[in-house]
């Protein structure tokens, strides 16, 4: 084992920063250990966790996705938002900032890769590129999962929709383009839209 193995290992701490990157999504829960009710934002790490669960659901239950490389998708989901360690999260409602989001992220990939353990640095570069370019079925699927996760997560918080300006029109504009390539994803998306309408989520 090389003498600098532990120094290289400690670079995994860079990934732990995702636990401290806030997203625009809500996360309200009771901490029974300290008996405190928290009302805070979801972190990027939490988004990745639930996205992995959604990958497992769809690849396991939906025939359209049975042939996909599940391990590759897991890797892509694990790496797809790592760049937020450098540039932070930009929510869909941050319209002005989103104009420059992708450019800033792409420019920051080499910066982040230098902070990561050897071999994982190149995985970041490879998966970030594949995810953005949607060159494989797995990358298209991972992009779809990313969008569905945000929708499913916010089903817990009805007041984050209509009262905050989210209506059917802008939800379709933001999410549908990454889902309509797949009949299965589109079916679930339409079911979510119907649920949101029937349950009054879009009411201001």
> Where would I find the beta strands (DSSP E) of the chain?
22-31, 36-43
Query: Could you tell me the residue ranges of all domains in the chain?
Result: 5-198
Query: How confident is the model over 148-180, as pLDDT tens digits?
Result: 999 999 999 999 999 999 999 999 999 999 999
Mean pLDDT of 113-138: 97
pLDDT range class, residue 116, cuts 50, 70, 90:
very high
147: nearest Cα among 194, 182, 123: 182
Name 37's bridge partners: 30
Residue 2 has pLDDT above 80, yes or no: no
pLDDT on residue 99: 65
- Is residue 33 a contact partner of residue 51, using CB atoms and an 8 Å limit? no
pLDDT of 15: 97
CATH number of 5-198: 1.10.3210.10
| pLDDT at 3 > cutoff 90 | no
| Average pLDDT of span 94-117 | 85
**Range 56-63 average pLDDT:** 98
Residue environment code for 154-183, b if the CB has 16+ CB neighbours within 10 A, otherwise e: beeeeebbbeeebeeeebeebbeebbeebe
């Amino acid at each position: 084992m090389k003498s600098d193995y532990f120094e290289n290992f400690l670079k995994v701490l860079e990934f732990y920063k995702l636990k401290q990157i806030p997203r625009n999504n809500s996360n309200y829960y009771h901490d029974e250990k300290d008996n405190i009710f928290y009302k805070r934002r979801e972190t990027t790490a939490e988004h990745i966790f639930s996205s992995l669960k959604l990958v497992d659901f769809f690849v396991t239950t939906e025939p359209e996705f049975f042939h996909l490389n599940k391990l590759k998708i897991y890797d892509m989901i694990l790496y797809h938002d790592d760049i937020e360690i450098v540039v932070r999260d930009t929510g869909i409602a941050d319209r002005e900032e989103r104009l420059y989001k992708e450019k800033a992220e792409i420019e920051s990939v080499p910066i982040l890769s230098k902070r990561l353990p050897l071999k994982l640095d190149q995985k970041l570069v490879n998966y970030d590129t594949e995810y953005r370019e949607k060159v494989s079925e797995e990358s298209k699927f991972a992009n779809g999962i990313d969008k569905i996760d945000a929708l499913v997560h916010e089903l817990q918080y009805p007041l984050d929709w209509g009262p905050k300006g989210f209506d059917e029109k802008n939800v379709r504009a933001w999410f549908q383009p990454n889902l309509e390539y797949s009949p299965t994803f589109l079916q679930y998306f339409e079911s979510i839209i119907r649920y949101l309408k029937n349950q009054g989520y879009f009411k201001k």
